[in-house]
Every structure is written in structure tokens, then in C-alpha cells.
Structure 1
């Protein structure tokens, strides 16, 4: 396995990244804050009002270092490439592996196993934090769901048939959402989870989950575009016109720890209440404008929190995890990694 190249993420407002010899230099208010040798970089990614000098963009293009730009919220804006780009080869390999049952299954098994394990981690944390307030029967249900999710994760890593893996992924989702209400502390009946509903969400908690899932999907899609992958050509999710299947694949690893825990925190702490939702004529439930802004603020704060990436062994803000995983996925397709290392939460 080859050594992973580093990616330089620049997110401070007003930061300027320039070329100095064979280095990328980050300046804030005219003061040098960081210096990184170009030969150690795999990408330079700027968020929001961070800027990059034309000289550095040219140097990155010559060396095959990705130079990409995103909004503050992570929406992909542009990518600077030289005359010879590996993206067409990367996407060709992406399409080839998607059509190769064994290679496709190797990627899907990692995604499904990580999803089930991460759902289990969320349940375990809820049992640890709130288990004393649960009835004995409910605590037993939570424990049984954890065990089943553990078994699903273990089974997934030994399978290569994509249809079987899709069945396991569906079972993991079913088992997880069956006990989702046991993680809720709110006493408001209208905020209690009954069942998962989408397109449209029919109650407040589903409306909150769907809105947050949309934000996460957006971040995953932008991250994939930033490394040159086709967000529509997925492996776990079937291909459909207009569906960002690969972004949905990537989201499965991050869904429970990033979105579900935030939704539970917002409702359990009373930060989001019934008055923050309104019903539409078609039966859908949506967030009010004020509540949507509050959720966006909470989402941005959540993305600032750091964890240690289990594969890289480095502290990483949650908001950059889609970009990290997208880069790992691209390197797997290029053959730099022997396997795709999914994000597994500890």
C-alpha cells in the first residue's frame, strides 16, 4: 500500500495560499501560518473566502495536485486541472468496478459493515447515557438491536454478492429505526419517532432527519466532485437518473453518527420543538424558516467537532470527513490502496 499524500484544507476566512519556491504557504492577515512542500500534497482545497494565487494553481496543475474550491457550506464550485487529467481514467475505473460483481461487492461490503457498526455505536452511546431511565424491557430491546447490528457488520465483511449486501443494509436500517424512539428523551408526543417516512416526511422528527440528510448528501456530493469522481455512479445504491448514488453510498457511513445524533440532541434538549414545524397541503411536514436557520447553525457547529480518523490516525473535523473519505475512495480506485477503508466510529 502506498503512502497517502496529504490534503491541505484552507477554511479560514480571508486566508491566502500562495506559492513560495516548492512550497504552498498559507497566510492570514499577511502573516505566514503554515508551509507545506508541494511534493507531499495530494490536494489543496479552499473553502469560502479563502483564496489561492494563480502561481500556486499553475504549480498544482503541473504536478497533478488537486486544487478545488468550495463554499463555506461545502458546495463544490470549481476545480483547477492541467492539460492532462487523471479524472477521466478515474471515472472509467469507477464505472468498470461498478460493473464488476466481485470488485463492486468488495466496496459495498465495507460500506454496509461500517454503516451497521456505526449504527450500533450510536445505540451503545444512548444506552450508556440514558439506559438508567429505560424500562427493563426497553433496555433489552436496545441490547438486542446492538447485537443484531454487530452480527450484520460481521456477516457483511464475508459477503461479495451485492444483492445480499443490500438485503443486510435494509435489515440494519430496519433494526436501527425500530429502537430509534428509545433514544429519544423528549416528552412531546408530536416529536416522537414512529416510523421512517420520506418523500415527503410526514411528521416533525422525519422532517428534521430528512433536512439533515440532505445537508450531508450535499457535502458528500461536493466532496466526490472535488476529487473527480462521478457522484451519480454508485455501488451500493442502484443507478437512477438524477440520483447521486455514490454520494448516498458515502453518506451511509456518516449518517447515524453525524445526523441522527444531532437530531436527537436538538429534540432531547428542547432546541427544536413542535412549533418549529409546519404542515403543507400535501401532508408533508417542514421546518419553519427560523428553525431551519437554527438547524444550519447546529450543523455547522457539529461539523467543527474533531475526532481521530481510525485509518489515518489524525484529528479530523467532522465536516471534512466526506472529503477525506472521497479521497480515500479515489485512491482505492487508482490502486494506491488495497481496500477501501470506511469511516468506523469508536
Structure 2
């Protein structure tokens, strides 16, 4: 099992990464702010425009330290990928399945997990806050999500699957305004908006999904799979299709649940956001710091994996699922077991 090491997050725009012998060094205006032995670092997520030195990139490549770059607002720009790990036979089989009709079965399993986990999250939220939500609305949404689950299993092609998934997502988002239990004006949800996010909830979700995608890409590449060749998300230049497939399983359980926890506990407020001239809403530097601090803490939460029946730290779940996916692709498992709450 992979060890849960530290992920280093650089949240300020003017931070620069470099190397001193076996240390990863953070600089600002030429001054050393901090240094870490590379052996304790598993990944680096950089929200800085200044980037990293070639020697630091070399250190990361030699030691399989994942290095990704984002804008200060959280939009993913790209990541540095060192030597490819894993068995070439696994990747060949992955490519064959992605081009075959069997890819529909994998796509269905990702979607079943997404919709099922979303439904179970709503059911739990309704149970925990029954006196503060519109119970009738939640029951209507639940009926629609049950319909979606039934139809995913009989979908004949990916176009049908895409339509079902879209309807399920629209129903799921209908509950979001009810799920904001405090400061409803600041966190009013106006429907899903991505590029750019147009309200505070969308800004938080987009930021969280970006971090989760990084985790899923790292996990897939660690087991030797190509994170850019998906089963549900079709090939598109620059899009990590398989990582996005894996993200679908965890959206509600890891990101949405976390976002509503931050909002409803008052850990993030209006002062943690800024509105741009084009109407986009972004986290401030302090907002990103609050988000990441709590994100790091949540990584260490343990849950019982429904397939393995073992306790697993939350942010090792992508690695566990990547391993199970690789086994299914190789034929060691009869079918891929998605993560189901």
C-alpha cells in the first residue's frame, strides 16, 4: 500500500521552487522561506506563476514526486510527468479496451458510483438536517436519482449514458441551496458554472475538483495506467479522461461533502472570495489557505472500503481504486468494483 506522505501546496503567486542538494526549497523575492527533504514529499501542487527550477524538476522526476501547476485561482494548467511507470502490457490492454465496446461497461460503473454516492449523500443530509431542509424536494430528487440508476444499467451507448448523467446532475444540484444552512446570501447557488465559476459555491467546488483530479492522475500513473485515455470521458487533447472518470466516483463523497462542511461551519465567509469584472468568483489567497489546511487534515480521515472491507485513509482511496481498475483491465477481476458509499 502506498504511504500517505505530504503534499506540498504553494498558495502564493510569487513563490518559487528550487533545489538545494536533497532539499526542496521555497523562495520569495530571492529569500528562502522554507525547505523540506524530498523523501517526505509525495507531491507538489503549485499555484504560483513563477514555477520551478530545472534542477527541482529533475529531483521530482528521479524520485516520482508528482508536480502540477495551477493558476492562483485554481485552474489546472499542466503537470510534469517523469519516466512512465508500470507494465507496457497493462497499457496496451487499457488502450484496447478503451477502443472496444467493453469500454461502455467501465463507463457505466463510473456513472453508477457517481449517481449512487450523490443520492446517498443527499439521503444522509436530509436525515441529519430534516428540520432545516425541504423534505419534499429531497424526496423528489431521490426519485429522479433512482430512475437514473435504473437507466444507467440498461443504457445502450455512451450518448444515452451522457444524457442520463446530465439529468441526474441537474436534479442533484437542485438541493444545493437547501444544503447551505448559514449565510445563504453569500453561498446562493445559481446552477453549475465552471469556467469561470460565477458564485462562491462553484468557486469552492471547482477548486476542490481540481485538487481531486490531481490526486486521481497521480494514482493512475502510479499503477502504470495512462490517465489521459478514459472510458467515459472520450479522448481530447490535454484532457486527462481516465482521471476524470475516476473523479466521478468521489465528487460528492470527497469534495461536495467537504465544501458544505466548510460553509456550514462558518470556516469560509464572504471575505474569502473576490469578484472579478467579468463576474467570476474566486477564492482569495486566505481562502485558498483555509481550504487547503482543512483539506490536508481531512486526508487522514479513515473510512472502510466497501470492496476490500479494510480501513483506508480518505486520500488513499484514488490509489486503491486505481489498483482495482488496473486489476480489472488485466483480467484479474471479473469486473471493476467502483467506490460506493
- Give me the TM-score of the superposition, normalised by structure 1: 0.76
1:176 aligns with 2:172: yes
TM-fit CA distance, 1:300: 1.1
Provide the alpha-carbon RMSD of the alignment.
Answer: 2.5
**1:315 corresponding residue in structure 2:** 311
> 1:49 is matched with which residue: 39, 59, 63?
39
1:248 aligns with 2:244: yes
TM-fit CA distance, 1:190: 2.2
Contact 1:114 1:343 in 2 (8 A): yes
**2:107 corresponding residue in structure 1:** 108
Partner Cα distance (1:279, 1:12) in 2: 32
Secondary structure of 1:9's match? coil
More helix by share: 1
**1:93 corresponding residue in structure 2:** 93
- Correspondence 1:208-223 to 2 at 5 A: 208-223=204-219
Partner Cα distance (2:257, 2:38) in 1: 27
Structure 1 residues 156-198: Cα deviation after superposition (integer angstroms, max 9, x where no partner): 2333522211211111111101122111102341212121111
**2:298 corresponding residue in structure 1:** 302
Contact 1:186 1:192 in 2 (8 A): no
Partner Cα distance (1:179, 1:188) in 2: 13
List gaps (5 residues or longer) in structure 1.
Answer: 1-6, 14-46, 52-66
List gaps (5 residues or longer) in structure 2.
Answer: 8-36, 42-61, 69-78
Partner Cα distance (1:195, 1:80) in 2: 39
- Correspondence 1:68-87 to 2 at 5 A: 69-70=64-65, 86=87
Larger Rg: 1
Q: 1:48 to 1:163 in 2, by over 3 A?
A: farther
Contact 2:114 2:248 in 1 (8 A): yes
Contact 1:145 1:175 in 2 (8 A): yes
Structure 1 residues 281-303: Cα deviation after superposition (integer angstroms, max 9, x where no partner): 33221111111011001111122
Contact 1:113 1:154 in 2 (8 A): no
- Correspondence 1:138-217 to 2 at 5 A: 138-217=134-213
TM-fit CA distance, 1:308: 0.5
Structure 1 residues 65-111: Cα deviation after superposition (integer angstroms, max 9, x where no partner): xx9844699x8875786xxx62x22222111111112x011101111
Partner Cα distance (1:70, 1:10) in 2: 13
Structure 1 residues 219-244: Cα deviation after superposition (integer angstroms, max 9, x where no partner): 00111111111111111112111111
